[in-house]
Amino acid sequence: MIKLTNKTTKKIKHLSEFAARANKFDPVLYGKYDVKRGLRDVDGKGVVAGLTEISEINSFKIIDGVKQPCKGELFYRGYDINHLVNGFLRENRFGFEETTYLLLFGKLPSHNELEEFNSMLSELRTLPVSFVRDIIMKASSIDIMNVLARSVLTLYAYDEMADDVSIENVLRQSLQLIAQFPLISVYGYQVYTHYHSDNSLIIHKPKSQLSTSENILHLLRANSKYTPLEAKLLDLLLVLHAEHGGGNNSSFTTHVVSSSGTDTYSTVAASLGALKGPKHGGANIKVVKMFEDMKQNLNNRSDSEVENYLVKLLNKEAFDKTGLIYGIGHAVYSLSDPRAEIIKSYVEQLASEKGCTEDFELYEKVERLAPQVIAEKRKIYKGVSANIDFYSGFVYSMLNLPIELYTPIFAIARIVGWSTHRIEELVGGGKIIRPGYESVAKRRRYVAIDKRGISK
């Protein structure tokens, strides 16, 4: 029997040098051929690749014919995100289920419609018989995003109409996945902490009367207890993470894969792979770890000391030495990220409840100083500000949520946006998405094998 190994051998390392050399070319060629690298213009504006009615992001306004940066705006189906949030918070309701209804069906639900929709989601909060034992508990993973992806692909085998891409069937599959994601994520974490940390394995069943955010906390905690503020803030983060335009990496992945005509499970698994990356959904983890490193290297948290640390970050002398200040700046927003502003208004209250006021003050200080440091050290085409990842990780840590669930919680929310974009792509019946690539390879003549030299 051949034994599998995940070690990198000397031969693989040697071959990897060939692979790297064969795929490297001068970045100047992007400009020469006018290639929009990363589907973005030189000034950072995304290349328009499609139309959507699902959500809209604004960071600039035209004033007297001149493009000017403005405070960030986010709209779900034409509704200002601030108005939506203020609406359900003012009425002391949870908003994620209502937001899900709005994104999927393009309208705000009535009382009866929302009650029926909540009941439907509640009935769908279940997994196939023995799925937890046979799928989640076997080959436990240290990364819950991989648990999600593997589970989603496995659910294909439990669906008799898995390949049916009619809208009614895709909607049925989407609603099931929206309801199942919290269960798979939390159960995956419970199994991970049982096998890797030797903790007790506690599996709670979801409760029909609870909202999505309440069920997450109920499923996660051994005693199932949580405060109203904890549930409200988690619900708010789910709302703010549910959708962010078709141009974000994972939602665009949804469009690309859906355009090929493949099934829902394959599409969602691909979107999960995109979200997992530290440049996308994993960014909030980087923020938390960056602050942990910062606190270990600060003495008095003065402005000058914090500023010096931020300069070291940019100079690749601190933390992970990537030259990034995580949580500051966004591909689209310039002056502000509306999601960050909304969540920040509640962070201070939670910090006070959790005894984390000093940490909150440090976050505020970095939010104030980082744009100044970046403006001095880097050439930027637009302003930078705190994005939602800057505060979301801090909220998760104060909620005592394990860091392994930060990105899966993002996925629990964003599955709503992915589902909506998938339906939009299928309804539009467009062509397969296939962008062009300019080849810069030189022509070469074939050489017979006995005349080839040994590569070095």
CATH assignment of the domain containing 381? 1.10.230.10
Same domain, 139 and 218: yes
**Res 56: pLDDT:** 95
> Structurally, how many domains does the chain consist of?
2
Same domain, 162 and 227: yes
pLDDT digits (tens, 9 = 90+) for 55-105: 999 988 878 777 788 899 999 999 999 999 999 999 999 999 999 999 999
**Res 250: pLDDT:** 96
Same domain, 165 and 92: yes
Same domain, 366 and 263: no
Q: What does 303-348 look like in DSSP terms, one character per residue?
A: HHHHHHHHHHHHTT-STTSSS--TTB--SS-SS--HHHHHHHHHHH
Same domain, 422 and 315: no
Q: Look at residue 46 and tell me if it is in a domain.
A: no
d(CA 142, CA 32): 44
Options 204, 280, 293, 359, the catalytic residue: 280
Q: Look at residue 254 and tell me if it is in a domain.
A: yes
Is 389 catalytic? The answer is: yes
**Res 1: pLDDT:** 54
| Number of neighbouring beta carbons within 10 Å of residue 148 | 29
Q: Look at residue 34 and tell me if it is in a domain.
A: no
- Are the CB atoms for 140 and 253 separated by under 8 Å? no
Is 204 catalytic? The answer is: no
Q: Look at residue 199 and tell me if it is in a domain.
A: yes
Q: Look at residue 360 and tell me if it is in a domain.
A: yes
pLDDT digits (tens, 9 = 90+) for 247-287: 899 999 999 999 999 999 999 999 999 999 988 898 889 99
> What's the predicted TM-score (pTM) here?
0.92
Q: Look at residue 151 and tell me if it is in a domain.
A: yes
Same domain, 106 and 229: yes
pLDDT digits (tens, 9 = 90+) for 386-442: 999 999 989 999 999 999 999 999 999 999 999 999 999 999 977 999 988 889 999
d(CA 122, CA 141): 27
Options 218, 241, 389, 421, the catalytic residue: 389
Is 134 catalytic? The answer is: no
Which DSSP state fits 46?
B
pLDDT digits (tens, 9 = 90+) for 307-345: 999 999 999 999 999 999 999 988 888 889 999 999 998
Q: What is the CA radius of gyration of the chain?
A: 24
Q: Look at residue 130 and tell me if it is in a domain.
A: yes
Owning domain of residue 146: 83-279+407-428
**Res 22: pLDDT:** 85
Options 218, 241, 255, 330, the catalytic residue: 330
Same domain, 159 and 264: yes
pLDDT digits (tens, 9 = 90+) for 221-245: 999 999 999 999 999 999 999 999 8
Same domain, 101 and 226: yes
Same domain, 156 and 267: yes
Same domain, 271 and 342: no
| Number of neighbouring beta carbons within 10 Å of residue 39 | 14
73: which strand partners?
58
* Average pLDDT for the chain: 92
**Res 4: pLDDT:** 63
Same domain, 201 and 100: yes
Query: Which tokens belong to 308?
Result: 């010096």
Amino acid identity of 338? P
- The confidence band for 3, taking pLDDT boundaries of 50, 70 and 90, is low
Q: Look at residue 109 and tell me if it is in a domain.
A: yes
Name the residue with higher pLDDT: 190 or 246: 190
Half-sphere exposure of 366 (CA within 13 A, CB side): 26
* Average pLDDT rounded to a whole number, residues 145-153: 97
Same domain, 218 and 321: no
CATH assignment of the domain containing 166? 1.10.580.10
